[in-house]
Amino acid sequence: MHHLHKLFMAGHFAIIALFFVCAVALMALAGIELWAGLFAGPADTRARFNSILECIGMLTIGLVALELSQTIFEEEVQRDVKVSGPTRVRRYLSRFLAVIVIALSIETLVAVFELMHDDPAKLPYAAAIGASAAVLLIAWGLFVRFNRSAEELEPEAMAQTKREDRKVK
């Protein structure tokens, strides 16, 4: 059983490393895109604007990858907890969904700004991304609300989670 635990821990480290490398690669690509948009690209203002918007999109996805690597590291490696109780599930999902909702919201803004000038017929697709973010936010809120009563049934889990938070900081 101990060897299996080490195998899973190695898997977590590999996933964390890959998420981190992806985040760094996206930051580098965003930097290149920003440089091209500001200095090396065409003199057309609209093309520069689109290049900067593309940079924001890449940074948003890079942020998601970086946040996911941090979440996995803190929850699975530092705390070495198993997501089983309501408190842990709520915290884990909250961290994950916060990043996803923010990223989808930013992507919606980027898509709207890009499409309203280039191809307004595709604006409903951007609106669908925004609607997805809104639905996720509502579902997350409902989950937290309904999960709260389950948390009250096991206050010792909440106390243990708070102790772990102090240790990690």
Q: Which of 70, 126, 67 is nearest to 102 (CA)?
A: 67
Same domain, 60 and 97: no
- 50 with 112: CB under 8 angstroms? no
Indicate whether 70 belongs to any domain. Answer: no
Total residue count of the chain as it appears in this document = 169
**Same domain for 169 and 87:** yes
Q: Which of 88-97, 117-126, 143-152 is predicted most confidently?
A: 117-126
This prediction's pTM = 0.73
Give the residue from 65, 97, 116 where a domain finishes. Answer: 65
Q: What is the domain range of residue 57?
A: 1-65
The tally of CA atoms less than 13 A away on the side-chain side of residue 101 is 15
**Number of domains composing the chain:** 2
Q: What is the pLDDT of residues 55-109, one digit of tens each?
A: 998 999 999 899 989 988 887 777 766 655 667 777 778 888 888 899 899 989 9
Q: Note every long-range contact of 153-157, with CB atoms under 8 Å and residues 24 or more positions apart, other chains counting.
A: 153/86, 154/85, 154/86, 154/87, 157/85, 157/86, 157/87, 157/88
* Residue that the structure tokens 């998601």 belong to: 64
